[in-house]
Amino acid sequence: MEQNIPIDIHTNKLLDWLISRRHVNRDWQTQVLVIREKINNAIQDMPVHEGIAKLLSGSYINYFHCKKIIDILKETEASSKNFFGSYGSQRMKDWQEIVKLYEKDNVYLAEVAQMLIRNVNYEVPSIKKQIAKCKQLQVECDKKEKGYLKTKSLVLGEFQTMCKQLGIPGQKIKHELAERVKELPEIYTKVADNAKLLSPAVEFYSAFVKFVLGEEHTGGSVSLLKYIIDHGNTTTYEWMYGEPPLTIEETPLDIDFSDEIDDSKIGDTIDFGDDNTAEIDFGNLGDANANEIDFGDVTLDESGDIDWGNINNAELAELPDANLEIDFNISLEESGIVVESTGVDGGVAKGTEALTLLDNPKTRNTFIDDLMELQAFLKVRLFEMQGASDLLSLSQLQDASPILQLQTTQSVLTMLDHVQITLGQITDSRTQHLHNIKHSPRYVDHLVDGLKQKLAVAKRMEAAQEVVKERRHAVGEEAASLQPKMQLIIDKTKELQSEIEEDISKKYKNRPVNIMGGVNIL
């Protein structure tokens, strides 16, 4: 039967279908504008009712909502009903008028059809896209957070590795570096002690040079290394002048601590007391209660000069060389004369001359060059001895010294090991750092800046990580808030579609109406 044949209408064609079947006019939108204005006015004066609040939440008010509002007003405005069954309430009259305007020319049907199309094609997909974007942002935030964490761990690892290499905790970097510099003398002492084990290698090298090049070429080879083997790590002054200095004036460590305050050093300054007190106590030299220095039994004559005792000119004449005139205007420092005092040879070692040979940058480099020269010789000699034919065979070494003839591959290899150990000690990265720290303030600043930069990068990564965490939390909350909103629109759209299908069905003798592609795809 025709009554049982369903009417299938696609959602996107619903409005065109209603217009083509002459259920609504093409100019229905002009009529809707008047109705929407009346709805906005009527909604301002509504009774407090749970059903009305539920109808007005989460959806656009349409014709079917208006009919439900009238049903609710029949209960709330029942007291205004007169004897003839009409309501005197203005609220009821306003909403009844709105419903009549909707039903004229089926304007309501065109509007709800457009609402259904908009919800299906735009509203719900838009919210879905927002939720998907939020989830994508969460994934990106997770990746960024892992990246920031990885970078932070990397730079902190580099910082800790460098601090471990320098032997410092990395809190007060400059102060800690200055403390580590004090370890250099002990390191150089160990290097000098190990250098003594190189004596056989040096003798072997010297004998080889003498045999190949002659006696005149033996003196200049690894001379500094020979000196350290014989005398140890002496001052540069003693190496240059052949005698130890009487006194050594070391140059203080030139590191600027102004940008790094160490609380543990506060209070270690010398307190000279009140500025008005001129008292200086040098021990037993004078009275501590007097504002003067006691030099003993020195007396002054009437003119204020120092009285040197009862020495007359006759006694001066009896002294040896008394007739010699002494010029006291000679500057010993400018003349370069080394003063000999109380039988102890030497003078004052200043500047680079006060440094030890392994601490002086110039002589230290010479020492390293000597070690590398010796190492190169031993490697070449070992290669020759291990080859198929030795360039210096036993027949050629018959006139050489026993030290050349008796050397074996194993003995040369042992010498090479000792040289490489000593070279490794003096060129160790930590020793290099400490040496540069002591002799180069710019190197200290560069080193500290590098360490602080790694900490700054780690802090920036940590801050960026916190920002990403907050961002991820925010988009997560946004996605969570959009989810119920989308579900509410879907539920309202399903309800609206059912109402449209039912309304159209009444116009076709209750034939079943199916709106295709509507909420079924949501």
In a domain, 56, yes or no: yes
Q: pLDDT of 39-72, one tens digit each?
A: 888 888 777 777 777 776 656 788 998 888 888 8
Other C-beta atoms within 10 Å of 412: how many?
A: 22
Query: What is the total count of domains within the chain?
Result: 1
Looking only at the bridges linking them, the beta strands covering 7-10 and 513-516 are parallel
Domain contains 413: no
Q: Is 61 inside a domain boundary?
A: yes
Summarize pLDDT for 415-454 with one digit per residue, the tens.
999 999 999 999 988 888 888 888 888 888 888 888 889 9
More confident residue, 217 or 378: 378
Q: What pLDDT, on the 0 to 100 scale, is given for residue 314?
A: 43
- Residue 372 belongs to some domain of the structure: no
- Residue 110 sits in which domain range? 2-131+477-521
Q: Bigger pLDDT: 344 or 131?
A: 131
Instruction: Say what angle helices 409-426 and 184-195 make with each other, to 10 degrees.
Output: 170
> What is the residue-wise DSSP string for 281-318?
--STTS-TTSSS---SS-EE-TTS-EE--S--HHHHHH
pLDDT at 132 exceeding the cut of 70? yes
CA torsion 444→450→454→460, rounded to 10°?
110
pLDDT tens, position by position, 451-466: 889 999 999 999 999 9
- The residue among 501, 514, 485, 491 whose CA lies nearest residue 113 is 501
Write out pLDDT tens, residues 490-502: 988 999 999 999 9
CB 353 within 8 A of CB 235: yes
Integer CA distances (angstroms), 443 to 157, 307, 431, in order: 22, 57, 14
Q: In the predicted model, is pLDDT for residue 271 greater than 70?
A: no
Predicted TM-score of the model (pTM): 0.58
Q: What is the pLDDT of residue 54?
A: 74
With 0-12 / 13-18 / 19 or more C-beta atoms within 10 angstroms meaning exposed / middle / buried, residue 477 is exposed
Residue 249 banded pLDDT, cuts 50, 70, 90 = confident
Task: Tell whether 471 is covered by a domain.
Answer: no
Instruction: Look over the chain and give the mean of its residue pLDDT values, rounded to a whole number.
Output: 79
Q: Comparing 22-26, 118-122, 305-309, which segment has the lowest mean pLDDT?
A: 305-309
Quick one: pLDDT at residue 219?
A: 63
- Beta-strand pair 348-350/306-307: unpaired
What is the DSSP-derived secondary structure letter of residue 322?
A: T
Paired tokens of 200: 């056989």
In three-state secondary structure terms, 346 is coil
* 162-171 mean pLDDT: 85
- Which residues are 247's β-sheet partners? 348
- Residues contacting residue 220 through CB under 8 Å, at least 6 positions apart: none
How many residues in total does the chain contain? 522
pLDDT at 336 over 90: no
234 versus 53: the higher-pLDDT residue is 234
β-sheet bridge partners, residue 349: 248
69 found inside a domain: yes
Residue 299 dihedral angles phi and psi, to the nearest 5°: -115, 155
- Asked, for residue 371, whether it belongs to a domain, the answer is no
Who wins on pLDDT, 293 or 106?
106
Is 92 within a domain?
Answer: yes
